Structure 1
Amino acid sequence: MSNEVRNLDLDNKLGEGRYGIVCKGIWCEKSVAVKRIQLIHIASNTQGEEALQGLDHLNVIKLFHAESDANFRYYYLELCNASLEKLFLKDGHKNKYRGTMPPSLTVLYQLAVGLEYIHKMGLVHRDLKPENVLIWQDPRKGNVLLKWADFGLCKPVNERGSYSMSGVRGTFDWLAPEILNLFYDEELSQSESETTSTVKRGTIQSDVFSEGLVFGYFLLDGRHPFGLRHQIHTNILENKPVNLDKIQSQYARDLILKMLKENIADRITSSEVAEFLNKTTIKVKPLTITV
């Protein structure tokens, strides 16, 4: 193992998940975020790492390097200022993001072109949520970029944008109705002692629904488009986005409604989301930022 791993600062923890932690560290004299995961949790699934290694976009988190020791896998990632949900923490909270943000529609556009790129690269993310949107600010120029992160559940898709799935993955409050229905179908099968295992097909259109939820969350100042925690699953399955009428921009509401269509065939695609936002009266200029 290289000397770089020894520069991991375990006392400067940025986050913690089910299988690992994220701390500040150094890689090639650059400050980075280092994600450390036990090898036993990644031995059978390296798709996220392989996917990130092939991605290069301003609105997707960058993986600089990965290596292992006897117990852990270490991922050296672009260091960002905060994740999106920290923007909506209460004033006075020590972890609240207090930096600048681009105009709201620019935020949506950045996320839209990021997801469009992921899909064009033949991948489905499967875990889009506010915690997986990172805020990066250029320390020299002050420009702010929103970046999709955490590709641990991503999978390659075929030319039609579909992929095989043997079970539900992702974070329940941010899942599309077709994925939630699959989960409840599995629950019913188990309760009826059915042992037949069938491989189902998923689609990148489920990502678009989840992205629409993130858009709504951002424009609603941290509220979920489908209501309070105990209401979310029922409201998603009944197609009742109870908070959307609180979004001030009619343009944004119209877009999100297209993203939250219950029927996959009626749902707008990630490329159409990006095109829709590119037509806004707020001109979003391409950013040329060296990181």
Structure 2
Amino acid sequence: MGGRYRLQERIGSGSMGSVHRAVDQLLGREVAVKLIASLARTEEERSRNEAEAKVLSQLNHHSLITLFDAGTEVSPSGTSIVWLAMELVQGSDLSRRLSKGTLPPRQVAYLAYDLAIGLDYMHRGGIVHRDIKPANILLFDYREDETRLRAKLTDFGVAQMAGDPSPQGDEFTGTAGFMSPEQVRSEPAGPPSDVYSLGLVLLRCLTGERAFPGMAVESALARLFRGPVIPDSVGPEWAGVLEAMTALEPGDRPSAHEVSEVMQDLTRAGRGRRSTEAFEDPDRVRAAEELGPTVEAEGDPALDRITALTSRLLGVPVAAVSIVGADRVWTVSGSGTRRGSAAAQESLCPVTVREDTPFIVDDVQHDLRTAADPLVVASPGFGFYAGVPLRNAEGLALGTLCVMDRAARSLTGDQEATLRDLAALAADILQLRQDVRDARDTAGYVPAEPAVAD
């Protein structure tokens, strides 16, 4: 296709076309190529077939599938084939994953957060997806434990600009099991329609059951008269947000941005409390402020090797080990940055040492935990941050091993594990530095009557 993409096996199909694994022969990389065939013969008909490419070309967000290239080919018989070359996500879709059973609530919250910020980005750009369903949600780096579940939204074949007074003719604009009431009534579907459909997807993830079972017509009509049944087993926090997302009236539903805010809180459920007390602990502050200036001034080749290795393994431009005091942060080793100190408000490290677990922010400019941070506000080119607290033998979080990137991105489960392992090594080195310092202090103490060996 396009004189450059060699098609391989088919990896997906639907009413709008089929998707194949393919090789980009120019760049030597694997991609996904979607083929949409029709009998369109006029320019107007072909323009409608190219609608998905036009929608995707306007989108650039890590929670949405990325379009690389597109084109149209017409066979001698007049059949028009629209092809879309997109990023190939190495993983399953949510529909296949749910065939194995439900997802843990925290995993659902992670998934919902990714999708909600992606939808918020789309909606702010005036685009409505209109077909949110498990089969259109791609998962990657999924593992059978409590590691971070990540998702991308795909298949924009029936997307349209918000505010368009009419759907695309009389074409089908959704999937019966996850359509909003306004879609069932063939009314214009705005951003609240996507929020409703996402609510049904999340309910399916938590319960393992479709909210509106039955044949397509029966399933679609049922939601005109009632909301979905939300069992008590999902818990009060989930019940509240799901009821709001699936309200019958579009105006009663939260925005995608508001959903993402709620999911931020739900991702913390079961992760343990934040260790704010440890951050304010005077013993922690004293130990950090004794260690930080010394290591920053002297440097440490072992820490330098760790930050260089971290940068290389995770493919990030900046990796650093920092010590966090009461109002100062000392960068004691860095790859892509220099040693030095700065005020605490000019770093995300103070936030990291408050955490019991790694502090990972895929998009610092839009994540509510960081968007208002002075460092982020002053750094429009700052996109991604991940940090792990470095604890000493007493369990005090003296500093962090962190990585940063200019663009928003994600860490896979393996990458997060690698960051944890390297942080443990960095913590061991800092502990050795502290032990040596303590030993020197002890050796330098001379008693009034020193013992003399025979």
Name the TM-score, length of structure 1 as normaliser.
0.77
Q: Number of residues paired by the alignment?
A: 255
Query: Which of 46, 68, 85 is 1:43 aligned to?
Result: 46
Task: Give the drift of 1:234.
Answer: 4.0
Q: How far off its partner does 1:49 sit?
A: 0.9
Asked if the contact 2:105–2:206 (Cα under 8 Å) also holds between the matched residues in 1, the reply is no
**1:148 aligned onto 2:153:** yes
- Pairing 1:229-248 to 2, within 5 Å after superposition: 229=215, 232-242=219-229, 244-245=230-231, 247-248=233-234
Distance in 2 between the 1:211 and 1:286 partners?
Answer: 22
- Compute the RMSD of aligned alpha carbons: 2.9
Question: Is residue 256 of structure 1 aligned with residue 266 of structure 2?
Answer: no
After superposition, the C-alpha distances for 1:86-110 in whole angstroms (9 at most, x for unaligned) are 002259xxxxxxxx99722111111
The one of 68, 76, 86 equivalent to 2:96 is: 86
Q: Partners of 1:207 and 1:247 in 2: how far apart?
A: 25
Distance 2:60 2:106 in 1: 22
Checking the alignment, whether the CA contact within 8 Å between 1:219 and 1:247 is kept in structure 2 is no
Determine which of 181, 186, 211 is the counterpart of 2:198.
Answer: 211
Change (3 A) 1:227 1:254: farther
- One-letter amino acid of the structure 2 residue matched with residue 219 of structure 1: L
**Following TM superposition, by how much is the alpha carbon of 1:281 offset from its aligned partner in structure 2, in angstroms?**
5.9
Does the residue aligned with 1:44 lie in a helix, a strand or coil?
helix
Q: Deviations over 1:217-267 (max 9, x none)?
A: 11223x21234457533431221412x205423212211110011112211
Structure 2 CA distance, aligned partners of 1:214 and 1:88? 10
Query: What pairs with 1:67-86 in structure 2 (closer than 5 Å)?
Result: 67-71=71-75, 72-80=81-89, 81-86=91-96
- What SS class does the counterpart of residue 53 from structure 2 fall into? helix
Q: In structure 2, how many angstroms separate the alpha carbons of the residues matched to 1:170 and 1:238?
A: 19
Output aligned runs, 1:173-188, within 5 Å.
Answer: 173-182=177-186
Matched, 1:124 2:128: yes
Q: Name segments (4+ residues, structure 1) moved above 6 Å.
A: none
The equivalent residue for 2:397 is none
Cα gap change, 1:201/1:3 in structure 2, threshold over 3 Å: closer, same or farther? closer
CA distance, structure 1, for counterparts of residue 246 and residue 130 of structure 2: 16
Structure 1 contact 258–267 (Cα < 8 Å) conserved? yes
CA 101–57 in structure 1, closer or farther in 2 if over 3 Å, else same: farther
Residue 172 and residue 112 in structure 1: after superposition, are their counterparts in 2 closer, same or farther (change >3 A)?
A: same
Which whole-Å CA distance do the structure 2 matches of 1:67 and 1:44 have between them?
A: 11
Distance 1:285 1:226, change over 3 A: farther
The answer to which of 129-138 and 37-46 deviates more is 37-46
Contact 2:227/2:246, CA 8 A, preserved across alignment = no
Alpha-carbon separation, structure 1, partners of 2:266 and 2:232: 20
**Deviation of the 1:169 alpha carbon:** 1.7
> Whole-Å Cα distance in 2 between the matches of residues 247 and 32 of structure 1?
41
Structure 2 SS opposite 1:103: helix
Which amino acid letter does the alignment assign opposite residue 247 of structure 2? K
Q: 1:101 to 1:253 in 2, by over 3 A?
A: closer
Equivalent-residue separation in structure 2 for 1:201 and 1:238 (angstroms)? 19
Separation of aligned partners in 1, 2:126 and 2:241: 24
Match in the other structure for 1:15: 12
- Residues 32 and 202 of structure 1: is their aligned pair in 2 closer, same or farther, counting only changes over 3 Å? same
Unaligned runs of at least 5 residues, structure 2: 76-80, 272-358, 363-383, 385-408, 412-454
In structure 1, distance between residues paired with 2:410 and 2:93: 21
1:224 to 210, 223, 226: 210
Distance 1:149 1:217, change over 3 A: same
Structure 1's 17 and 103: CA in aligned 2 closer, same or farther, altered over 3 A?
closer
Deviation track 1:268-290 (CA, whole Å, cap 9, x = no partner) reads 11121112222336188323437
Change (3 A) 1:120 1:246: same
State the distance in 1 between where 2:164 and 2:178 align. Answer: 19
Q: In the aligned structure 1, how far is the partner of 2:123 from the partner of 2:84?
A: 23
> Paired residue for 1:164?
165
Listed one character per residue, the Cα deviations across residues 28-54 of structure 1 (whole Å, up to 9, x for unaligned) are 222111111225456131332111112
- Highest relative contact order (Cα 8 Å, sep 6+), 1 or 2? 1
**Structure 1 CA distance for aligned equivalents of residues 106 and 151 of structure 2:** 9
Rg larger in 1 or in 2? 2
